[in-house]
Chains A and B, each alone.
Chain A
Amino acid sequence: MIEVSDLRYRYGDVDVLDGVTLSIPDGQYCLLVGPNGSGKTTLVRHLNALLTPDAGTVTVDGTDVTDDPVVARTRIGMVFQHPRDQFVAATVAADVAFGPENLGLDRAEIDRRVDTALDAVDLGDAAESRIDALSGGEQARVAIAGALAMEPDYLVLDEPLVGLDWPARQSVLDHLDALAADGTGVIVVTHDLRDLHERADRLVALHEGQVVLDVPPAEALDTLPDLGIRDPRC
C-alpha cells in the first residue's frame, strides 16, 4: 500500500502540489491524468523519494520513503518519458543489470533477474543487442525491464506511450496488462487516455496540484474535457 498524505511541494512561486492525499493498494492499475503543469510528474517523483516534500508524507507499507529511499526505489520501479536518456549501457542486458548491481546482489542472482525481466517484455532474444539499434517500442520495453529487474511491487510509468506508433503502443500496453494480471501495481501518468481507460481500475485526475477526481475510469469520461483532457472515445 502506497499512502500519500497532505503532500505539498513548491517550485519558485508555484504550489506544484497543494495538499495531495491518496492511497494506492497493492496490485491496482491506476491512471494519473491531468493537463501539462498539473503536478503529475512531481507527484510520482515523490513516491520513490526522487523529490523531498515541503510538507506531508509518502509511505510504502508504513515506511516513510524519505527515511529509506533504497526500499522505496526497489519497491516502486519507475520508467521515464525519454527512454533513450535513462539507459546506462550500450547493450540491453548490461543496462537491465544496472539496478540489481547497485543492490549488491551476487552475479548469479543478477543474471536470473535480467533473464526474467527480459522474458517479461519478450526481449529474451535481444539480450546482447545494441539499444540504439532497437525500435522505439522495444526501447520502451527495455526501460520497463530495467525497472522490473529490481523486482518492484509497483511500476510507475511517466508518459510511456509518447512517440510510439500504434503497434508499439499495443505491445507495451499488452505487456502492462500481463504484469497487472500477475499482481504488480501499475501507475500510468498520462494526458492521453486512448487505449488506457478500459484497462485500468481507477482514474485519478490532478488539477493545479490537487486531486479533483478519483473514480473508476468509465465514470470519469464525461467530465474529462472540463479538465483539459481529451475524451478517449472521440
Chain B
Amino acid sequence: MLSYRPGSTVAHRLDPRSKLLFQFGLAIAAVAHPTLPWLVGTTAFALCALAAARLSPLAVLRSYRIVLAVLALAPFVAGVALGPPWFRVDPALRSALHVGRILPVLLVSAAYLTSTPVRDTRAAVQRLIPGKPGQILGIGMALVVRLFPLVLADVREVRDAIHARGGEARPLWDRARLLAVRSLERTLDRSDRLSVALRARCFAWNPTLPPLAFDRRDYPVLAVGIALAVSPLVSV
C-alpha cells in the first residue's frame, strides 16, 4: 500500500494546502468529462505530479493493481448483452472511458500520499477551516490516527478471544454481535479515559496552530489547482 515516505522532492517541500488544492482540482477536472482528449490532458497533469514526487508511474500502477483489476471488469460487464450479439462494443467503450477518468485521480492521490505526512494534512485542515469546526476536525484527525492502531488491536484481540473459546461454532449473526458489542465497549472505555485526559490538558478552542508557511513555489501550484477545479465550467 502507498504511504508517506520521507524525502526532499519538490512535492515534499510544497505546503500541504497547495497540494490538497491541486489534488482536489485535478480530481474535479478528471471526473468532469468522460472524453478521450480530456482524459489525456488530466493524465498529463497527474504525471507531472508523480514526477514532482519522483514516483515511477509503473510502480504506482502496480500498487493499485487490485483496484485497477476490479475497475477493468466494468467495461466487460457493460458490454455483455443477454442476446445476440452477446457483446456490444459501444457501451463497453463508454464504460472504459468512464473508468479511465479514475486513473489520473489515483495517480495524483499516490503523489500526495507518499509526499505528505498525515500531520501535515491535519495542519492544513486546521488552518483552512476556520474556528471551532477546524479545531474539532484537526485535533480529531490527529487523535483518530493515534488511536486507530490501538482500537484495531482491541478488535483483533476480541476476535481471537471469541475464537479461543470455540466461537466459530456459533451462528454468524451471534459471532458478529459478540465481536461488535465487545469492541464497542472497549472503544467507549477508551473514550471516557481520553476525555478526562484532554480536559486535564486544557483542551481549548483557541490553541496555537501548527506551523505552516507558503513558499514562493506554492503559488503556481495553487494557481494551477484553482484553474483545474474551475476548468469543467469554462470548457463545456
Contacts and interface: CB of A to CB of B under 8 A. Distances in A.
B207 A48 contact: no
Contacts of A7: none
A4 to B, nearest CB: 18
Given A82-B193, A90-B145, A102 B207 contact: yes
Given A88-B139, A89-B142, A101 B208 contact: yes
B143 A78 contact: no
Contacts of B198: 88
A94 B210 CA distance: 10
Given A80-B196, A102-B203, A88 B142 contact: yes
Contacts, number: 76
Contact of B196 (A50, A94, A110, A132): A50
A220 B174 CA distance: 53
Interface in A90-104: 90, 94, 98-104
Contacts of A89: 119, 142, 146
B201 A99 contact: yes
B169 interface: no
Interface string B175-199: 0000000000000001001101111
B146 A87 contact: yes
Contacts of A50: 196, 199-200
Interface string A104-129: 11110010000000000000000000
A70 interface: yes
Interface in B181-236: 190, 193-194, 196-204, 206-208, 211
A182 interface: no
Nearest to A91: B119
A70 B193 CA distance: 19
B200 A73 contact: yes
Interface residues of B, number: 24
B193 A80 contact: yes
Most A Cβ at <10 Å: residue of B119, B196, B197, B211:
B197
Nearest to B139: A88
A101 B135 CA distance: 12
Interface in B128-169: 139, 142-143, 145-146, 149-150
Nearest to B143: A88
B208 A106 contact: yes
A104 B206 contact: yes
A107 B123 CA distance: 14
B188 to A, nearest CB: 12
A115 to B, nearest CB: 16
Contacts of B200: 48, 50, 73, 77-78, 80, 86
A102 B150 contact: no
The 10 closest A-B pairs by CB, nearest first: A86-B197, A85-B193, A102-B202, A102-B204, A101-B207, A99-B201, A78-B200, A101-B208, A102-B207, A90-B146
11 contacts: A73-B199, A73-B201, A74-B202, A86-B197, A88-B197, A94-B142, A99-B202, A103-B202, A104-B204, A132-B149, A150-B202
Interface of B: 119, 139, 142-143, 145-146, 149-150, 190, 193-194, 196-204, 206-208, 211
Given A45-B196, A86-B194, 7 more contacts: A70-B202, A77-B200, A80-B193, A86-B197, A101-B208, A102-B204, A103-B202
